[in-house]
């Protein structure tokens, strides 16, 4: 489904980003894995290394120099802009509003929202310069639609990603660059490992499919959005939630 596609994936060292790398590589894409977690990235690479000419690059998505450097290195190494970008880098710093520090508000916005914006901008510019028909997939969250106790910072960042995605889709459509957002529900990754067991059990009761999702189920949706099978889809928000809060 993705043969011949060059795909940059942030947050590639863990969870959903790692699953995206694995699914995309199995579909024939060449992967550029980017993350601040170098050990995690190397682990991801060891899982896919036999499937193509993949590369890892350390990158802090909240730092514009780091993001621009990543895209320059991709162009140098592969003589092309990426055809696909999946923005999966993300963090949580959960506290209720009255206890949340300004620093933790800023940190989450910087990584989740500004980081997504920086990569969309850098990859979008490179796609335009090389006249590459592109697909950008931004990982938002169901919480960006519903809000959540203890996540004013995170929910705002993920709602922001939806607004960013729709605006970018409107600006880039005429260049055949599609931009979509995926809204995962509860997915089993290191990010949700810290959620107390009783809350996980309560959440499961609310999920029509009756279970937590796995990262591959998000990655499969990303693969669809990255491929020509979604050629008439842009500016969409796709919920992959087992039906939670539909």
Question: Active-site residues: which are they?
Answer: 154
- Smallest separation (angstroms) from ligand NAP to the CB of 118: 10
| Beta carbon of residue 40, minimum distance to ligand NAP (angstroms, whole number) | 5
Q: DSSP states of 130-159 as a string?
A: TT--EEEEEE--THHHH--TT-HHHHHHHH
Q: Which is nearer to ligand NAP, 101 or 231 (CB)?
A: 101
- Kindly tell me which of 14 and 227 has the beta carbon lying closer to ligand NAP: 14
CA 207 – CA 57 distance, rounded (Å): 37
Measured from the Cβ of residue 170, the count of other Cβ atoms closer than 10 Å reads: 12
Name the token pair of 116: 């997504």
Nearer to ligand NAP, 27 or 35 (CB): 35
| Binding residues vs ligand NAP (CB under 6 A) | 10-11, 13-17, 35-37, 40, 59-62, 88-91, 111, 115, 139, 141, 184, 186-187, 189-192
Q: Which is nearer to ligand NAP, 15 or 124 (CB)?
A: 15
Q: How far is the CB of 177 from ligand NAP (least distance, A)?
A: 21
In angstroms, what CA-CA distances link 3 with 7, 23, 223, 227?
Answer: 11, 12, 11, 9
| Least separation in angstroms between CB 174 and ligand NAP | 28
Distance, in Å, from the CA atom of 166 to the CA atom of 234, rounded to the nearest integer, reads 8
């Amino acid at each position: 489904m993705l043969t011949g596609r060059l795909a940059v994936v942030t947050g590639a060292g863990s969870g959903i980003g790692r699953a995206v790398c694995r699914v995309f590589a199995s579909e024939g894409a060449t992967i550029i894995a980017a993350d601040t977690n170098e050990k995690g990235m190397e682990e991801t690479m060891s899982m896919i290394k036999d499937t193509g000419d993949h590369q890892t690059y350390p990158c802090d998505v909240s730092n514009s120099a780091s993001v621009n450097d990543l895209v320059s290195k991709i162009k140098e190494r592969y003589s092309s802009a990426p055809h696909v970008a999946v923005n999966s880098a993300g963090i949580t710093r959960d506290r209720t509003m009255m206890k949340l520090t300004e620093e933790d508000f800023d940190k989450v916005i910087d990584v989740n929202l500004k980081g997504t914006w920086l990569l969309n901008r850098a990859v979008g510019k490179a796609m335009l310069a090389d006249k590459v028909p592109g697909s950008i997939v931004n990982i938002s969250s169901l919480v960006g639609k519903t809000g959540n106790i203890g996540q004013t910072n995170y929910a705002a960042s993920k709602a922001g990603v939806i607004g960013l995605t729709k605006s970018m889709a409107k600006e880039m459509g005429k260049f055949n660059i599609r931009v979509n957002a995926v809204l995962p529900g509860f997915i089993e990754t290191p990010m949700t490992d810290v959620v107390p067991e009783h809350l996980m059990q309560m959440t499961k009761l609310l999920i029509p499919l009756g279970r937590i999702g796995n990262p591959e189920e998000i990655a499969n949706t990303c693969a669809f959005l990255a491929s020509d099978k979604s050629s008439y889809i842009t500016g969409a928000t796709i919920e992959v939630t087992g039906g939670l809060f539909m």
